[in-house]
Amino acid sequence: MVILLASLAPVIIILFYIYFRDKYEKEPLRMLVKALLAGVLIILPVIFVEQWLSALSPFSEKVGAAAWHAFVVAGTTEELFKYLALYLLIWKSPSFNEKFDGIVYAVFVSLGFAAVENVMYVIDGGIQTAAIRAVTAVPAHAIFGVTMGYYLGIAHMYKELKKQYLLKAIAIPVLLHGIYDFILMVEVGWLLILFFPYVILLYVMGIKKMKALSEASVFKPLEESSEAEL
């Protein structure tokens, strides 16, 4: 029970934080539960596809294999399934009526997935693993969700930006996720030194994106500075 609580605590804390950052119109609880469950359910196809892609790796050397597993096996597979679940759930939903809503739903999907993944890792690694992942992997999944939701929210509200921002909504989370995993998987000393600075950078990027959309009402034009962000 302690292990379970330790693995789920950071997920619950971030979910509440995101929920209360939604200033203008809280999302229906039934939709948030659906988003969370969607994230939980995609773990099954993700595991299957990741195993299949791992077996297809064209690289045998360390760096190539790490890049394949980081950017293709983990980054692309996990973010793509999150993206599909999120898009199918909210794109045509009347509840999706503000830019910040994209962030809220994307984080709930991402953390549904992260919750299951974290339980699996923590059961195997114990409390120490729970402590490390509470400030690294779980927030990272949330920030990948923030990034996805940021671009999806803009794509939904600004039709002239729809195509390019729908692409950014999947491409940039895959890139960020791939870099995160690559640093850990390649096991190169100088890159590992950059891991925690990279995590801090993710935090900063996530906070900026939330601030950009949470301070703008549904009718307020998107600031140029927000559009220019990664």
Res 7 pLDDT > 50: yes
Residue 221 has a pLDDT of 53
What pTM did the predictor assign? Answer: 0.91
List the chain domain ranges: 2-216
pLDDT tens digits for range 161-218: 999 999 999 999 999 999 999 999 998 888 889 999 999 999 999 999 999 887 764 4
Q: What is the mean pLDDT of residues 100-125?
A: 93
Q: Which residues of 56-66 are buried (b: 16+ CB within 10 A; e: fewer)?
A: eeeeeeeeebb
Q: Rounded to an integer, what distance in angstroms lies between the CA atom of residue 121 and that of residue 138?
A: 11
pLDDT tens digits for range 126-136: 888 888 999 99
Residue 187 has a pLDDT of 83
The more confident residue out of 218 and 52 is 52
